[in-house]
Copies of this chain bind each other. A is one copy, B any other.
Amino acid sequence: MSAAPEFGKVVVFGVGLIGGSFALALKATEQVEEVVGFGRSLATLTQALDLGIIDRVGANAGQEVADADLVLLATPVGQMPEIMERIEPYLGADTVITDGGSTKADVVAAARLHFGDRVGQFVPAHPIAGAENSGASAARADLYREKKVVLTPLPENSVLNVARVRSAWEWCGAQVHELSPGQHDEVFAAVSHLPHLLSFALVHGLTQRPDSNLYFSYAASGFRDFTRIAASHPEMWRDICLANRGALLKELDRYRAQLDELRVALQKGDGAALEQTFSIARTARRGWAEGQGKP
């Protein structure tokens, strides 16, 4: 005998990797009766239907969200404000909304603007499940298993609404954590957005040399690891950088100060200072990797 599903109707805007995997995970745990999908590309929606990610392609967003238990905004962050504006007038009183955006302060600002008095129904989230691939065909029921999802609840959120959104991500297999939107953006500026910027900068710099082919031809495994994220999606990362500009500028300046210190040590030939910096980094990196259980 199985219990009744926790969510009757779930509406997903954007049925690619993030939204599709969310739908598949809830379906796999039988926690949803019906998933309705919206998206900009009919081809993607049809593919999502064929793959069993969604049960129906939505026609009228207002109508569909009126009796939805849960809405997920899983489009690029830049498209969210327009969707918020479109659905706000029709939101059911018991409908709870979450999202999958990589930045949070900007999404929260858009939610305040467009949801107004109903912003308490929106519980922002950031699933930390990066993947090289994207699109409905990349969606997997286990994408979020043992991955972190960061909720950044708002003062306006009821305890019940936070619990419902938490529960949805937990059904997906995720470990749910909470940060404030500002704290979230500061942390991810440092551990994700800055490294992407640095990696893009290194590869871009190499391409600007007249003899860049010679340089690329001798790049090996260290370069491969360091620059893997320089193959990330340019538009997505442009949007993340702009959305989290303040925190990212602060991290970039902090990092430049680090480089200045290393430059001084290098210039002076101060081997002890270099070794100490490298040694502290190595110990921390090893400790981190051990904690993660992966190299």
Question: Measuring CB to CB, which residues of chain A are less than 8 angstroms from any residue of chain B?
Answer: 128, 130, 132, 148, 150, 177, 187-188, 190-192, 194-207, 212, 214-216, 218-235, 237-239, 241-242, 245, 248-249, 252-256, 258-259, 262-263, 266-267, 269, 271, 274-275, 277-282, 284-286, 288-289, 291-292, 294-295
Contact = CB atoms under 8 A, between A and B. Distances in A.
Nearest to A190: B215
B259 A256 contact: yes
B219 A278 contact: no
Contact of A128 (B148, B220, B288, B294): B220
A260 to B, nearest CB: 9
Given A191-B216, A218-B128, A220-B130, A259 B266 contact: no
A57 B134 CA distance: 56
Nearest to A253: B263
B195 A223 contact: yes
B205 A191 contact: no
Contacts of A279: 234
A89 to B, nearest CB: 30
A255 to B, nearest CB: 6
Nearest to A284: B207
B269 A242 contact: yes
Rank and list the top 5 A-B pairs by shortest CB-CB distance, nearest first: A234-B278, A203-B281, A234-B279, A238-B275, A191-B219
